[in-house]
Structures are given as C-alpha cells and as structure tokens.
Amino acid sequence: MADQGAKKPNAKGGGKKKEVKKETGLGLSKKKDENFGEWYSEVVVNSEMIEYYDISGCYILRPWTIAIWETMQAFFDAEIKKMKIKNCYFPLFVSPGVLEREKDHIEGFAPEVAWVTKSGKSDLEVPIAIRPTSETVMYPYFAKWIRGHRDLPLKLNQWCNVVRWEFSNPTPFIRSREFLWQEGHTAFATKAEADVEVLEILELYRRIYEEYMAVPVVKGKKSENEKFAGGLYTTSVEVLDMFFMYIYMYNLILLLMPLYGEPEDINSCMQAFIPNTGRGVQGATSHCLGQNFAKMFEINFENENREKGMVWQNSWAYSTRTIGVMVMVHGDDKGLVLPPKVAAIQAIVVPVPYKNTPMEEIYDACSKTVDTLTKAGIRAEADISDNQTPGWKYSHWEMKGVPLRIEIGPKDLEKNQVRVVRRDNSAKEDIPVSNLVEQVQDILVKIHENLFNVAKEKRDASIKVAKTWEEFMEALNQKKMILAPWCDEQAVEEEVKKRTKGEIGAAKSLCTPFEQPELPEGTLCFASGKPAKKWTYWGRSY
C-alpha cells in the first residue's frame, strides 16, 4: 500500500475550500509567483520532504527526500568508482591546531565553525571543532600515507554530513546548519592529472543536474574573488533559474579557478539562476587546490628519479542543496514536481469507484498494473486506501510530485485500458493495457524532456546582454542574469559590488561560461571602459 501519511479528508466530501484545506492539509496557501519564500516552505513540508526540528537551521529529511538523495548517490558513487576513487570516512571532529594550520582556508569558514566546549558539565581543556569541510581533517594523513610516486594518485571520497553554524534566515536544503554531501579529495604527481579530473568530476555534476533533476546548468569559470579559499582554481556547475534570492552560496561548493596555470587561470562553475527572485546559485564545485595544501601539510613524495616534489590536489563536492534547487525550479502551485529519474514513486495507481460498483476487480487491476510496471523496472505503487476519495488522492500525490498518475475505473476495465495523467502538464491519455509498459516508459522520458526544456526556456528568457553600465543596471533592476563583457580585473569587480550594494544585496560575477560568445575586437568592459577580455555572467546571489 502506498504512503498514507496525510490526514483524513472532510467526511462530507464537500464544504468550503478553506475548510477542506484545514482538515486535510492539502493545497498550498501561497503562490510561487506571489510569495516565493513561503511557497517554498509550504512545498517542502506538505510534500513530506522535510520536517522542522527544534534546533533552528536543522531539518529532518524524510524518506521522500532520502530516496532522491540515494538515487543521485547511487549514480555518482558508481561513476567515481569507475575512476578508481575509493570511499572512506574521516572523523567529524577536528582539533584546533589542525584546523588553523591553513589560515587562508579556515578564514573563509571561521564564522561557520561550530565548537564542542563541554563534556557533560565539565569544560573541555581544548575545544573541538565540528568539520565545516574536511581538508584540514584529511591532509595530515595524506602526508603520512604518501611517500613515493607509487603511492600516487591517492583518490578518496566520503559521504558524510558537515556543520556550518553562522548564518541568518535558514532555508531547508539551501541554508541549513547541517547538511549531507559527498566530498572528494585527491592527490596527484602532476598538475596535468589533476586538471583532467577536475573536468571529469564537473561533467558528472552536470549529469546529476541535467540528466537526473532536469535542471539546466552552465559550466564556467569563477573569478579570483569568488574562488575557493586556499584553492588554485575552482570549477562549478551554476544553476540558472528563477529563485536566486533564497539560495545561499557556500564558497566551497561551486567555484572554479584556473585549469592550466596560464596567466589567465580558468575558474569554472555550474551556474543556475532563479528567475522569480533574480538570484543565482551554485550547484556543485570541483576545485583544483594546486600545491597550497601540500605545502602547508608537507604532502611530499619522491619521484622515479628520487627527486622530491609536492603533490597536486583536487577537492570536489555536491550536497543536498541540489534537492532544494530542483524543488525551486520545477515546483508549482500544486506542490512538488519530481523528474521521473529521482522520484521514489514514478507512477501512482489510483482506483476510481463508480457509484455502487464492486471494487474487487478494480483493486485486482491496480495490483496487476503495479506488478507489470515494477517487473519492467518502473517504480510504481497503488493507493488502495478506502478512507479517501479519488479526488483527495489526486491532490495528495500531486503535492508529492509523483510524475505519473494512473487511474483505473469500471469503464477502463471494460475497455481494457488505463488513464494516465502527467504531473508536469496535467495532460491525460488513455492507453491500452497491452501496451502499458512501453507507453509509460515513453511518457516518463517525455516528462523529463519537458521539465528540462521548460526550465531552460525560463532561464534563457531571464538572461540579458548588457554592454554598458546603464544597460547593466536596468537589467539588474529587472532581476535578470546579465551577460556582460569584462576586463577581468578584481578591482573592477569590487567596484561593481560597491556601486550596486543595497538592501537586497550587491551584484557580483557569477561565472564566466566555458562556451564564450564571440567577443569582437574593440569591445569594452561594461563597468570600467577598459578592453574586455571575456564575457561573464553577473547578478545577485548569496
């Protein structure tokens, strides 16, 4: 039997809309386009993704969420194993001495570090930090394990939680004090090897967003100001959709720095944009750390010629923030909308009684339908509860975002068919039972394609080209993501931030796309009037 977690509907089956909402808990009181923040909060609770906890910024991730995380985890874990990356686990606690060894790195996280200061009622002699990330936890042991070239490459990944405490206005998935992620940490003998891996991992992150969550992303480069603290360069996937305003950007998670060590380093990212709020979000990051940490933690090795050298390192991560981005991009005024590949239930089968029709045959047909789909690898369940009306069930499963609803009633039995209803566009279709599996598989593919195409169209419609400061400010005030020619000078970026600073935040560079539009000779920077070197996305973000 399918999840029956929602409350019993109005026994009379009618009454005013407000009364039904209050009794059943179904329906949203806020609209996405009118009050995005409250709409989002309602969706993640009413769809049974999260439950609020009694500690601010901490959330219970319910099975509906964990199923999504496990699907992405299964994909990513299998892919990195093909790259000969091995899973491990390092402790949650960090000693202050280790944490503070890399000052540039820890300064970026210092306000967010949580500390354990007591054991029972006794003060600890030395406080212990809870990891905000694991570079300083892991690298002392890299130094111990790596001695010669035969110990390289060392490629580790861990699936774990991290804690980052200092922030205001927590938002489920997007800005939480504890969240789940994977973090990869690798060491190589040469920079060339490290560079190859950075882009391989970035491509896996793109696939998570586009092939699983149907969210379009832009691969690009992060500016020197926006790169990962302590890193050489950072690549990231930036999600460009409509709700930037509610997305907190942890500097660790989606940045990109130089890839080849040329005078112009490549800082890449995957960038997303939330059009309704006009803010950008980083979805995942792949950093080339260079030799900064190797120097700090003395991670040295002896090569084939018995020469001493320092390793080249990468780190890369994506987190449960990805799920929040997906909710923001695809959700609507009925609730959650899940892409089929990540949905715990891809098809929900609902029996539809008619007057005094015996239900045994309909229930049997529902069970057979579920069995047939399940054997074909489609995640299907039947909601055969007898204490809810079909209409109530429709609303319940729409709220939870199930991609496809299959209805079976007396007329469907007579015609040896089922009725399917798509969650993404509400399209209805009657399909014969004899061709059920093939057609459902085809519809699920079309749902994914439609979700991706709609999201891409909205994102692209929110991008505006600006070649002058006046055009830039006009687009910024319209909550657009701005593609502008830039001279690539840090001082100019800082000046842009100062000139645009206001109550809702300042504009900043989001990423420089790898796929660069043509830059005609003589093109000037929109902000400084100096010769432009590249096209860069700009906008507000967190």
Structure confidence at residue 357 (pLDDT): 78
What pLDDT score was predicted for residue 261? 31
pLDDT of residue 217: 87
Cα separation of 2 and 19, whole Å?
A: 25
Q: Amino acid identity of 168?
A: S
CB neighbour burial string for 189-225, b if at least 16 within 10 angstroms, e if fewer: bebeebbebbbbbbebbbbbbbebbbbbbbbbbbbee
Pair 297, 542: CB distance under 8 Å:
no
The span from the CA of 448 to the CA of 446, in Å, is 5
Percentage with pLDDT > 90 across the chain: 70
Tokens of 372: 């047939």
Domain positions in the chain are 36-244+268-330, 347-459, 463-539
Let me know: does 250 contact 175? Beta carbons within 8 Å.
no
What is the average per-residue pLDDT within 274-296? 80
Read off the pLDDT of each residue in 490-498 and give the average, rounded to a whole number.
94
pLDDT at 169: 81
Average pLDDT over residues 262-284: 59
Q: Give pLDDT, residue 23.
A: 41
pTM attached to this predicted model: 0.86
CATH of domain 347-459: 3.40.50.800
Contact between 217 and 239 under an 8 Å Cβ cutoff? The reply is yes
Going by C-alpha positions, the residue among 220, 492, 214 that lies closest to residue 338 is: 214
Task: Report the distance separating Cα 364 and Cα 347, nearest Å.
Answer: 17
- For residues 523 and 485, is the Cβ–Cβ distance under 8 A? yes
Between CA 394 and CA 464 the distance in angstroms is 39
Distance CA 391, CA 384 (A): 13
Average pLDDT over residues 44-72: 97
Mean pLDDT, rounded, for 438-460: 96
How does 308-320 read in b/e, with b if 16+ C-beta sit within 10 Å? eebbbbbbbbbbb
DSSP 3-state assignment of 35?
coil
- 542 and 248 in contact (C-beta within 8 Å)? yes
d(CA 204, CA 281): 18
Which 3-state string (H, E, C) describes 43-87? HHHHCCCEEECCCCCCEEECHHHHHHHHHHHHHHHHHHHHCCCEE
pLDDT of residue 111 exceeding 90, the answer is: no
Q: How confident is the model at residue 244 (pLDDT cuts 50, 70, 90)?
A: very low
Superfamily name with CATH number, domain 463-539: C-terminal domain of ProRS (3.30.110.30)
- The model's confidence at residue 167, banded by pLDDT at 50, 70 and 90, is confident
- State the chain's mean pLDDT as an integer: 85
**Does an H or E element contain 539, and which?**
strand 534-541
Instruction: Please determine, for residue 242, whether its predicted confidence score (pLDDT) is greater than 70.
Output: no
For residue 184, the one-letter residue type is G
Quickly state the pLDDT bin for 259 (edges 50, 70, 90): very low
Residue 125: pLDDT band with limits 50, 70, 90: very high
Q: How far is CA 80 from the centre of its chain?
A: 18
Domains 36-244+268-330 and 347-459 share a fold: no
Give me the helices (H) in 269-389, please.
292-297, 321-330, 360-375
Q: Of 56-60, 181-185, 239-243, 423-427, where does mean pLDDT reach its minimum?
A: 239-243
Mean of the pLDDT values across residues 66-80?
98
Confidence of residue 440 (pLDDT cuts 50, 70, 90): very high
| Amino acid 109: pLDDT | 58
Q: Is residue 44 within 8 Å of residue 173, measured between CB atoms? A: yes
**Confidence band, pLDDT 50/70/90 cuts, at residue 231:** low
Give the three-class secondary structure for 113. Answer: coil
Task: State the pLDDT confidence band at 8, using cuts at 50, 70 and 90.
Answer: very low
CATH level 2 (architecture), domain 36-244+268-330: 2-Layer Sandwich (3.30)
Q: Looking at beta carbons, which pairs linking 82-88 to residues 24 or more positions away fall under 8 Å? A: 83/155, 83/197, 83/200, 84/155, 85/155, 85/156, 85/157, 85/184, 85/186, 86/155, 86/156, 86/157, 87/156, 87/157, 87/158, 87/159, 88/156, 88/157, 88/158
Predicted confidence at residue 489, as pLDDT, reads 94
pLDDT at residue 172, rounded to an integer: 94
Given this model, what pLDDT does residue 257 score? 28
- The residues facing 51 across adjacent strands are 60
pLDDT at residue 102 tops 50: yes
Q: What is the mean pLDDT of residues 346-365?
A: 91
Per-residue pLDDT tens over the stretch 461-492: 999 999 999 999 999 999 899 999 999 999 99
